[in-house]
Structure 1
Amino acid sequence: MLYVVLSAAFVVVILVALALIGGSSDEKAPDKGPSQERTSPTGTGSRADVEITECSVEEATGWPKAELRVTNHSSKTSDYWIQVEFVDAGDVRIAEGIAVTSNLAPDQVANESASGFRDAKGQITCRITEVTRNAS
């Protein structure tokens, strides 16, 4: 059941992103200057399974993006739901995003990404706000 809900949420996010990208423009986006805050796994349980490997702003859309490395340290094949927030230099949240990976075997690694769907200007920071792990 969780797999169906997660899959449906992922499809909705993709459809919204495609709808927002829509047209093209000849204007060039201004330089965004994202931070490269990387986080090592911290905490215990499922939070320790996820780290941010890159924090950037997509040149084509101007949206923030976090690259994530998920390592299943549990003893069971698991599904992950990861929430990421994107904050500006004043520590104000400008967007949030999710990443989902399913059927990750014990000790298996998956590289995923989470994107926010709002323009990011200036320096940004990516932070993991929640990690949910469920046995598949």
Structure 2
Amino acid sequence: MSDNFPPPPPEQPQPEHRPPAQPSPWAAPAGPPQKQRTGLVVSLAVGGGLIVAGAVVALVYSAMNSVQDSIALPPRSDTPYSEPYEEEPYGEEPSAEEPVEPAPEPTVSEPDVKKDVTITACARDPQIGWQSAKVRVVNGSSTTASYHIGVEFLDKDGTKVADGVTGVVDLGPGKSVVEEIHGLGEVPRGTTCRLVDLMRTPAGD
């Protein structure tokens, strides 16, 4: 009896086992390549902007130094400070020294004319009712003088009811004279007398 066994199946080749490949140190890290490229562009743009800004600042600083160097300040003077002097008004020439006029001689102060004239009597005439006054004149000045003397006659209320005048001519210094002045018209009893319009004029004026 023969053995009719089928022939054995052919051996299948076994896959070769290889260790996994190691990543190269020069290879780019894994990750989305688009993000890495965007970051690189941003870094380049920022760096370029900083370089341009630095160049502009350097250019402006150089220009300012050039301007300061072109404005030259005047040299400092070693002359000591002096007070400013007053300038003469424009258009006026300095005048020559004018001769000094001698001071006028002091004049002697003459006494007031009121001190030269005094009423010595004031009475009403009982017959006709007219009022009169006697005045004494003493020339208290240093020169011969003439006098003008007026008298008012006042009633009890101080109202003028009459008046009169007299004059003295060329009365020497220290000399005296008595004059009588009469009012015109009848006046009431109790009428009083008052000096007015006194004037003293030196002789020759």
Normalising by the smaller structure, the TM-score range is: 0.5 to 0.7
In structure 2, what is the equivalent of residue 127 of structure 1?
194
TM-score after normalising by structure 1: 0.65
Show the 5 A alignment for 1:1-136.
45-136=112-203
Find the aligned partners of 1:51 and 1:134 in 2 and give their Cα distance.
Answer: 18
Q: Would you say the 8 A contact 2:124–2:189 is kept in 1?
A: no
| CA distance in 2: counterparts of 1:99 and 1:55, whole angstroms | 15
Partner of 1:15: none
Give the drift of 1:61: 3.0
1:122 Cα deviation (Å)?
Answer: 1.3
Q: CA deviation at 1:88?
A: 0.4
CA drift of 1:58 comes to: 2.2
Q: Distance in 1 between matches of 2:128 and 2:167?
A: 21
CA RMSD of aligned residues (A): 1.1
State the secondary structure of the residue aligned to 1:101.
strand
- Percent of counterpart pairs with the same letter? 32
Opposite residue 50 of structure 1, the aligned amino acid is V
Runs of 4+ in 1 over 3 A off after TM superposition: none
Aligned partner of 2:144: which letter? T
1:54-92 Cα deviation digits (max 9, x unpaired): 000123432110100000000111110001100001111
| Secondary structure in structure 1 of the residue aligned to 2:113 | helix
Structure 2 distance, partners of 1:58, 1:82, is 21
What is the TM-score of this pair, normalised by structure 2? 0.44
- The separation in 1 between residues aligned to 2:193 and 2:127, in whole angstroms, is 19
> What is the count of residue pairs matched by the alignment?
93
Q: Which amino acid is the alignment partner of residue 104 of structure 1?
A: L
CA distance in 2, matches of 1:79, 1:60: 34
Q: Work out whether residues 47 and 130 of structure 1, in 8 Å CA contact, stay in contact via their aligned partners in 2.
A: no
Q: Report how far residue 130 of structure 1 moved.
A: 2.0
Structure with the larger strand share:
1
Q: Unaligned stretches of 5+ in structure 2? A: 1-110
**5+ residue gaps in structure 1?**
1-43
- Distance in 1, Cα, partners of 2:126 & 2:169: 29
1:95-127 CA distances to partner (integer Å, 9 max, x unpaired)? 111121111000000000111101011101100
